[in-house]
Amino acid sequence: MSSAWTPTSTRSQGSLRLLCETYGDMSAKMTAPAIRSRKGGTKIAVITAYDAPSARIADRAGADIILVGDSLGNAVLGYDDTLSVTVDVMVRHTAAVTRTKPNALVVGDMPWLSYHLSTADSVRNAARFIVEGGAGAVKLEGGRKRLPMVEAILAAEIPVMGHLGLTPQSVHAMGGFKVQARLAEAACELVEDAHALAEAGVFAIVLEGIPDIVAREVTASIPVPTIGIGAGPDCDGQVLVFHDVLGLSAGTPPKFVRKYADLGDEASVAVARFFEDVRSGAFPSDAETYHMPEADAQEFLAERRV
Ligand code: KIV
């Protein structure tokens, strides 16, 4: 918990105390090995964040991992998919998150084509998330196909999180955002991919958009934590997109999303109230206005009158 944060009300102090009592000491900086050691233990709580305000909110709430996901493309930048997001953009947003000095482990999501061309290129791009972005780890999508890149990044001492199942960067290859590993053969392939990533040394694997039975089998058969999103309740942790959790996303969310607030609607009401006050003249009040010392005000007006 950042010491700079001062709760503004008794109620928030109480809620914060409750959070600390529930989740223990949240003041220690989370690391990839610490996440790795949580296999089978207390469930790992993960959320995306893309900027300083969302990172502060996530960290105060007790996130174990803040994922600067390339879902930034859909959630914030208005694209229909994640494919237009570049390393430059991801690194800039990762740095915005880490400048808030969260206790959560910050994982930077490597965008499409940043780890597909060569191992050297992949390590160079991963290193930008660490050096320029201040992240503690990177995430990349894919299994055995990406193993040489995963191994090269790990060999450069950068912790890697895997991502299997519905991998959004493969949207065209998958023929849309479709649940994966629905049939036995594909499910066995996914389990093999998970084993290969775990053996390579990833510290955790995101399982997205797969049947619960497949996630359960993967979780039971690998020694590193699985983090589910649309993968049922048996993973070692769960992740959701920040804007989906808070009701800030456009359109109908997928069925695995649980919305915990309707901040989009609340925000529109608040901004509409501001506009109403502007139009009625109720904003700004005298207390919201700067004044000159009386003598200077008189002198100024006298100067203007000559
Ligand atoms: O980009 C992202 O936010 C993700 C998570 C949804 C797992 O990859």
Whether 4 shows a pLDDT value over 70: the answer reads no
Q: Are residues 70 and 143 in the same domain?
A: yes
Could you tell me if 65 and 46 are in contact, meaning their C-beta atoms sit under 8 angstroms apart? yes
For 9-62, the pLDDT digits (tens) are: 434 545 554 554 455 445 699 999 999 999 999 999 999 999 999 999 999 999
Q: Do the beta carbons of residue 127 and residue 158 sit within 8 Å?
A: yes
Ligand 1 atom nearest residue 141's Cα = 8
Phi then psi for 91, rounded to 5 degrees? -65, -40
Q: Report how many domains make up the chain.
A: 2
Question: Based on the domain organization, do 242 and 297 belong to the same domain?
Answer: no
Examine the domain organization and report whether 292 and 243 are in the same domain.
no
Domain that holds residue 51: 10-261
Nearest protein Cα to ligand 1, atom 3: 69
Ligand 1: centre distance to CA 50 (Å) = 11
The model's pTM is: 0.90
Q: Report helix, strand or coil for 266.
A: helix
Which residue from 107, 235, 238, 241 has its CB within 8 A of the most atoms of ligand 1, so it is best to mutate?
Answer: 241
CA distances from 51 to 12, 86, 92, 280, 283 (A): 23, 16, 9, 34, 29
Residues above pLDDT 70, as percent of the chain: 91
21, 141, 208, 266: which one is catalytic? 208
Sorted by sequence, the CB contacts under 8 Å of residue 272 that are 6+ apart come out as: none
Same domain for 62 and 199, yes or no, is yes
29 and 166 within one domain? yes
Dihedral sign, CA of 258, 245, 7, 134?
positive
Domain identity same for 26 and 125: yes
208 in catalytic set: yes
Ligand 1 touching residue 229 (CB < 6 A): yes
Instruction: Choose the residue to mutate in 229, 238, 242, 256 for probing ligand 1, maximizing ligand atoms within 8 Å of C-beta.
Output: 229
Look at residue 123 and tell me if it is in a domain.
yes
Residue 64 has pLDDT above 80, yes or no: yes
Nearest-angstrom CA–CA distance, 268 and 279 = 16
